[in-house]
Chain A
Amino acid sequence: MNSRPAGSARDYSIMNPSVATAPRYDADARRFVLRQALSDVLPVQCLLTGAEETTPFECDGLSAFRQVPFAVALPETEAQVRDVLRACHDLKIPVVARGAGTGLSGGAMPHADGLVLSLAKLNRILELDPVACTARVEPGVRNLAVSEAAAPHGLYYAPDPSSQIACSIGGNVAENSGGVHCLKYGLTVHNVLGLRGYTIDGEAVTLGGAALDAPGLDLLALAIGSEGLLLVVTEVTLKLIPKPKIAQVVMASFDDVVKAGDAVAAIVAAGIIPAGLEMMDRKATAAVEPFVRAGYDLNAEAILLAESDGTLEEVADEIAEIERVLRAAGSTQCIVSQSEAERLKFWSGRKNAFPAAGRISPDYYCMDGTIPRKHLGRMLRAIEEMEKKYTLRCMNVFHAGDGNLHPLILFDAHEPGEWERADRFGADILELCVALGGTITGEHGVGVEKLGSMCVQFAPAEREAFFAIKRAFDADGLLNPGKAIPTLARCAEYGRMHVHAGALPFADLPRF
């Protein structure tokens, strides 16, 4: 166990009531005490308290939700992270960990009375072992930087979120992020071997490691995707894998979205797990094509991108098989990339779908539900109906292979009522995801955004189990409070707002 540094021996007991019962201190007094406590453990340049310095941290990638924090700490060492946590624990100050702030569910949105703990300065790759095929990195390392460092050894880190130039490994771990290749290579949880982190009381915990398993409960799996509610991650051991010799992609057009959805299921049913299997509808291709000139068929109702990677022989066989299945499923046109440049060109449109949405609409709202593959067509039809109901447009890009949907609802935040309509549109999509046997979030997390939808997916019994897990790690509820798990009161409120035929849908699913 770590011993306490002498510098933090100050007695804060007078300022140490439990959060629930704390009288609201005068903001200035709180700021003063916190600044005192943190200046004991952080160099002066690592603590931001003025509004002009803290405002840039007011939101993450979901800018509809904003909150200026009380203060921002930017520790430079793991020991400083520990000491900051201890000080906040003693003072009962909420802490919101933050990586690169690219999250899309408001997970890193600050707490009004809390500290933002940015891990951005912990950005070193500590060790890269090309024999063991592992990398040990600090949490602030960018996702792409890992693959760049591994490239000279013919290795890479498989999870590749579209935000990979910017997003941090710590954020990836907290969200269990995926990418376009996770159908074959898995999500973050499948590619992290171990991590070290600190619970809110400043206690170090090591979960997993360089071995393939560890005794006891799988706390590593529990920590991954825990949205900064259980611990602050300070070091991660990643699995690296050899770069495939070659990759090729088939671009297939369909004159009907349901046919395209069925083609996805047909590929999987044929025993093929493509390296990537993505779908874009006509609205999405129309938005990206003028912007990136990827060569998309603008007459198609939907296009699929199916990638194969591996050895030359494998890819040749698999591409032929994919093409055969796609044609049998009714594809009107199949083009196979003939060079690496062409492959990247086909992908460029998919990878730029979000920015393209931003070009054709003042604002867009990205959803993230997952459904069984067989319902893809049905979901697209339902979204068309919702477009009429809410008089908003929605373009669809799907990680179709895993049934993960990213409908992008286009709106203008300056038009009165549009954000509210977009919000309800999104909630409707997520409710349908649950009704079709899926989930409200495949990779972006719940954050603050999907608290209401959590009430639809989970009964009180499960939500209570989530709180039980939270209590086991953080009894005072100081790490990222108010995120990821809705309270009963919150669900009651959501129920009143989204009443369907007099009842919250699915709330009354038989429990026994």
Chain B
Amino acid sequence: MMEAALADLRDRIVAANAAKTPLRLRGGGSKDFHAEALIGDELDTCAHRGIVDYEPSELVVTARCGTPLAEIEDTLAQHGQFLPFEPPAFGEATTIGGAVAAGLSGPRRASAGAARDFVLGAHLVDANGELKRFGGQVMKNVAGFDASRLLCGSLGVLGLIAQVSLKVLPRPYDEITLRFDCDVKAALALFHRWRAQPLPVSATSWHDGVAAVRLSGSPSALRAARAVLGGSVLDTTQAPTWWLGLRNQTHDFFRRGDKPLWRLSIPATAPIGAFADGLIEWSGALRWLHSAAPAGEIRAIAEKLGGTAMLWRGACATTRFHPLAPANLELHRRLKREFDPNGIFNRGRLHPEL
């Protein structure tokens, strides 16, 4: 039998679909800003919560969508494990369903992989209120299309992600962070050099004249890497605060409200140009920039460099997400029509037309 909380959600969905009224899916609400638009009656997922299954030796955790991210991370930590993609929590209320629907990844992205790389399975409640179980709880699974990874980052436009199974990993034995005082060009050169070598780099950043690199692994591996890299060791209270500040965007840089904050996702090796004022992560593949320049200009630059630009925070006369190529948009329209013909789920959140 379906749990009561899920049955309630299902009933609301069925009713909304019958009436063709839009629903706005909401977990902790910490990513309300991460939307093109918030339309429809709120459907709060928080009551459908709890870890369904977790066996450390299987490296998988399965949880209902409304489970607080913090609850999952605490449980994993008790067994020396973690979510390697370091999902950002923009507030205490962040739920695992919201984290997967947003599909965002933290500082470890460039070395460990993205949120979707750790999605093994997902349950979807579609517009008809039907529960569909995609993927599973095992590491390798190619039966059927990979719909669970499709749901990761879907921002709820295909339906309610009711439950997810995520691959977890043992926490690294040890971590140290090295600091280098250098300009942005020198920082990028370092990142590129390190990437092509077998080094236990688990995160990099550059901001305000300081490059930081986090190393994760066995004590012997860290000792050996330190000898190769040089730099000075950041003390063990400062270092975790720095990375957590980037991951959850509590660092002052993200709070500056004067100009819109742009998120550029571009090839790590893209040239740097004028960037004295920004913040860099993912070895250069993620670049944050406060800029009042016209959106079109910023987007054109990002495209020219082989990537895209998202308006992250602040107001600007433009869509938040980088526009989709026409052929891709057409596929989005058709998928939306198949999964949610009445357009009830998170209408307009991912794209004005969806």
A residues neighboring B (CB under 8 Å)? 1, 129-133, 153-155, 175-176, 178, 182-183, 186-187, 189-190, 199, 203-207, 209-219, 221-222, 224-226, 229-230, 242-245, 265-266, 268-269, 271-273, 310-314, 316-318, 370-374, 399, 402-404, 437-446, 450, 454, 457-459, 461-463, 465-466, 468-473, 484-485, 510-512
Contact stretch, chosen from B21-29, B37-45, B321-329: B321-329
In the complex, A153 Cα to B329 Cα: how many Å? 38
Inter-subunit contact B143/A217 (CB<8 Å):
no
Please pick, from B130, B138, B198, B326, the residue contacting A245 in the complex, using a CB distance under 8 A. B198
Say yes or no for B136: interface residue by CB 8 A criterion: yes
A465 and B137 contact, Cβ closer than 8 Å, known pairs A216-B350, A242-B196, A314-B221: no
Q: Is the CB of A439 within 8 A of B146?
A: no
- Give every chain A residue within 8 A of B109 (Cβ-Cβ): 212
14 more CB-based (< 8 A) A-B contacts, given A273-B169, A472-B334: A203-B327, A211-B306, A213-B105, A217-B150, A219-B150, A222-B145, A268-B59, A314-B218, A372-B137, A439-B143, A442-B139, A442-B141, A463-B144, A471-B334
Contacts of A207 in B (CB 8 A): 328
Least CB distance, B337 to chain A, in whole angstroms: 8
Residue ranges of B at the interface with A (Cβ–Cβ < 8 Å): 1-2, 7, 10, 55-59, 80, 103, 105, 109-110, 113-114, 116-117, 124, 126, 130-134, 136-147, 149-150, 152-154, 157-158, 169-171, 173, 192, 195-200, 217-218, 220-221, 223-225, 265-269, 282, 285-286, 306-308, 310, 321-332, 334-335, 337-339, 350-351
**Cβ of A484 and Cβ of B144 under 8 Å apart?**
yes
Q: Is the CB of A374 within 8 A of B58?
A: yes
| Known contacts A472-B331, A510-B1; is-contact A217 B338 (Cβ 8 Å) | no
Contact B198 A242 (CB under 8 A): yes
The 3 closest A-B pairs by CB, nearest first: A313-B220, A442-B140, A271-B170
Whether B310 and A215, one on each chain, are in contact in the complex, defined by CB atoms closer than 8 angstroms, is yes
B144: A residues at CB distance < 8 A: 446, 454, 457-458, 462-463, 466, 484-485
Contact B169 A472 (CB under 8 A): no
**Chain A residues within 8 Å of B306, by CB:** 209-211
Contact of B2 with A512 in the complex, beta carbons under 8 Å: yes
14 pairs, CB–CB < 8 Å, chain A vs chain B = A1-B326, A189-B149, A213-B103, A217-B335, A218-B153, A219-B331, A268-B58, A271-B80, A317-B220, A402-B139, A437-B137, A462-B134, A469-B145, A469-B150
**Smallest distance from the beta carbon of A363 to chain B beta carbons, Å?**
24
Give the docked Cα–Cα distance between A466 and B328 (Å): 19
B157 CB to nearest chain A CB (Å): 8
- Whether B113 pairs with A457 at a CB distance below 8 angstroms is no
A130 touches B57 (CB 8 A): no
**A313 in contact with B310 given A176-B142, A242-B197 (CB within 8 Å):** no
Given contacts A212-B282, A217-B332, A310-B198, contact A438 B117 (CB under 8 A): no
**Complex Cα spacing A470 to B29, Å:** 33
Cα A222 to Cα B327 with chains together (Å): 16
Q: Which residue on chain B has the smallest CB distance to residue A373?
A: B58
Are A373 and B57 in contact (CB-based, < 8 A)?
A: yes
Kindly state the separation between the CA atoms of A471 and B134 in the bound complex, as whole angstroms.
18
